[in-house]
Amino acid sequence: MPPWVLIGSAAVLLPIFTFMTMENVHREKEFTTRLLLEKGAALIRAFEAGTRTGMMGMQRGGFQLQRLLTETAQQPDIAHLIVADADGTVVAASDLDQVGAAYGKELDLASVARSKALQWRLVSTSSGVRVFEVFRKFEPTGPQGGMMRRHPGGAESPPDAPRVIFVGLYMAALEEARQSDVGHAIVMGGVLLLIGFAGITLLLLAQSHRATRATLSRIKAFSDHVVENMPIGLVATDGRGRIAVFNQVAESVLRLSASDALGREASRVLPPELWQQVRSDAAPEIVTGTEIDCVLADLQRVPLEVGAGALRDESGRFEGSILLFKDLTEVRALRREVARHQRLATVGRLAAGVAHEIRNPLSSIKGFATYFRERYHDNPQDAQTAAIMIQEVDRLNRVVSQLLEFARPVNIIPRPTAIAALIADSLKLIETQAREKSIAVAVEDRSTAAEARLDADRLNQVLLNLYLNAVEAMAPGGTLTVRVADLKGAPGIEISVSDTGDGIRPEDLSHVFDPYFTTKPAGTGLGLAIAHNIMETMGGGITVASRPGAETTFTLRVPLVKAD
Ligand code: ADP
Ligand code: MG
């Protein structure tokens, strides 16, 4: 609890309780005074009455009064009783020695003797005891005062002369009681103060408890959200090995629903390979990056990267385990892909080297074959053999060139290019072949971009491969159609090359881009592989659709390079 709260509540409570206590004490005091006053008044009235009675008994007032005083003063709490006249001369007193002496000179006795009002003061006796003194006009005559005047008596002064009576009362007992009352009031005040403090403290504690609970529930909501939505699988068990947390990724990786897993024993729910990681409370504090192959309930094998750790409280007591895991299926596939690429690259470089070495002897062989064909042109069989040699050498050359082409890294250099001109130029390259096979060529340009930045040479190479395949696939009389359109959803163009050839068998469709896949006796199977490579490097792509026996369409996605 902050100290300012204590200080603040003390500042509020202390004055309140001090004031209350002082008020109590004051009331006590007033009450004591009133009590003493009343006692004094009662005594005085008793004297007056007694004196009257005495007088009716025809005794001398003075003597009678003196006796009454002496007797009454025997009572333990009466200090003294004095009757004095207006001059301050004692007429009668409980202490006989005082009679005739002066008393109360310091008071205005004349005025006291005139009014009937009761007054009081505090005096000290010669022995230093504090005495509460009540005094007022002494009026024994009362309503029957007339009698007094008819029977004047008393040696000292006429009985109807104005007199004052003093009644001294000891305060000790009352004072004591009052003191204990005051003590009581102070103790009460203290107790109330403490109760007030306790109340405020409790109130603040309750308040802070509420605030803490609210904060806790906020933190819990936040962490639940994080756990639920984190991109890795999380499973936590409690101290007894039951599953306490099972997030969404865990659900999808382990193919288990959280509602089935929660609250059940982890050893029964989790695949054994995964459970192995956390089995006991002796499990290591934290393990990360272990790769395991998990066999799921449906016997499917899932590669996982697992991190496991034990949860302990402050005193080191085992509170459960936590398991974090990631599905490595995709990562493994990527790794395999990378390895394959590396192998291919090595093989490609090797092949390119070999191809280069083959090319030189090939040109010599072709030269000799040509020579022999000329030389034996009168012997048709030999000339035929030489012609076949030339043809085969040409084929070999083509294979080697394409292999070199395939192995060479693709380098894209985009330049501003007019699209319509690009298409027209590329079609010129197959004009002759098309004409020879009576194949019609159609162009449909629906693109809005007249000019684009792209690598025209590479695109030409791709298009040429597609045209040649199309022409080879068609019987005479077919149609080759080139369509150009804007790319949907991104800046770029789409070029499709369709033919009315014999199509691609569905089972071959996924292999046409593989290197060395060919269905032609003299094919290399590298044309589409090269095209695929180039399109990928451009950041675009190539797709194929075909109806066997009817048509085939290859579609190029050509993204436009930003003019930078
Ligand atoms: P090649 O032409 O040397 O066989 P490609 O990579 O160019 O190698 O083509 C691979 C294979 O794809 C071809 O052998 C053929 O079976 C098929 N193919 C390609 N284009 C077409 C097409 N337009 N119509 C039918 N089949 C085609
Ligand atoms: Mg080809």
pLDDT grade, residue 211 (50/70/90)? very high
Please tell me whether the overall predicted TM-score, pTM, comes out greater than 0.85 for this model. Answer: no
Separation of 531 CA from ligand 2 center, angstroms?
A: 10
pLDDT at 55: 53
Report helix angle 329-375 to 380-407, nearest 10.
Answer: 150
**Percent of the chain whose pLDDT exceeds 90:** 30
pLDDT at 151: 40
Atom of ligand 1 nearest to the CA of 531: 6
Q: What is the mean pLDDT of residues 196-205?
A: 87
Say which residue the tokens 């200080």 belong to.
7
pLDDT at 245: 92
Burial level of 479, CB count in 10 A (0-12/13-18/19+)?
A: middle
pLDDT at 147: 41
Burial level of 289, CB count in 10 A (0-12/13-18/19+)?
A: exposed
pLDDT > 90? residue 468: yes
Give bridge partners of residue 554 from the DSSP assignment: 497, 544
| Count of residues in the chain | 564
pLDDT > 70? residue 68: yes
Q: What is the mean pLDDT of residues 38-47?
A: 88
Residue 123 phi, psi (nearest 5): -130, 160
According to DSSP, residue 547 is labeled E
pLDDT > 60? residue 164: yes
In angstroms, the Cα distances linking 30 to 23, 34, 122, 184 are 10, 6, 14, 16
Q: What is the mean pLDDT of residues 468-487?
A: 94
pLDDT grade, residue 200 (50/70/90)? confident
In angstroms, the Cα distances linking 495 to 197, 371, 433, 439, 481 are 86, 45, 21, 20, 10
Got the DSSP string for 420-479?
A: HHHHHHHHHTTHHHHHHTT-EEEEEE--S-SEEEE-HHHHHHHHHHHHHHHHHHSPTT-E
Atom of ligand 1 nearest to the CA of 523: 3
pLDDT at 149: 40
Rg (CA), the chain: 63
> Which residue would you say has higher pLDDT here, 409 or 219?
219
pLDDT > 80? residue 469: yes
**Ligand 1 neighbours (beta carbon < 6 A):** 465, 469-470, 473, 499, 501, 503-504, 512, 517-520, 523-529, 552
Separation of 234 CA from ligand 2 center, angstroms?
A: 51
Q: What is the mean pLDDT of residues 125-137?
A: 86
Q: Which residues surround ligand 2, an ion (CB under 5 A)?
A: 469, 527
pLDDT > 60? residue 471: yes
In angstroms, the Cα distances linking 11 to 18, 119, 198, 399 are 11, 42, 15, 101
Residue nearest to atom 23 of ligand 1 (CA): 470
pLDDT at 148: 42
pLDDT > 60? residue 75: yes
pLDDT grade, residue 448 (50/70/90)? confident
Residue nearest to atom 19 of ligand 1 (CA): 469
Q: What is the mean pLDDT of residues 534-554?
A: 91
Q: In whole angstroms, what separates CA 180 from the centre of its chain?
A: 59
pLDDT at 562: 57
Mean confidence (pLDDT) of the chain: 85
Residues 362-417 pLDDT 10s: 999 999 999 999 988 888 898 899 999 999 998 888 888 888 888 777 788 888 88
Lowest average pLDDT, out of 92-101, 139-148, 156-165, 314-323, goes to 139-148
Query: Which ligand neighbours the alpha carbon of 530 most closely?
Result: 1
Question: Residue 221: which of 211, 232, 229 has the closest Cα?
Answer: 229
pLDDT > 60? residue 564: no
pLDDT grade, residue 463 (50/70/90)? very high
Q: What is the mean pLDDT of residues 131-141?
A: 85
Lowest average pLDDT, out of 82-91, 142-151, 464-473, goes to 142-151
Alpha-carbon gap, residue 371 to 369, rounded angstroms: 5
pLDDT > 90? residue 472: yes
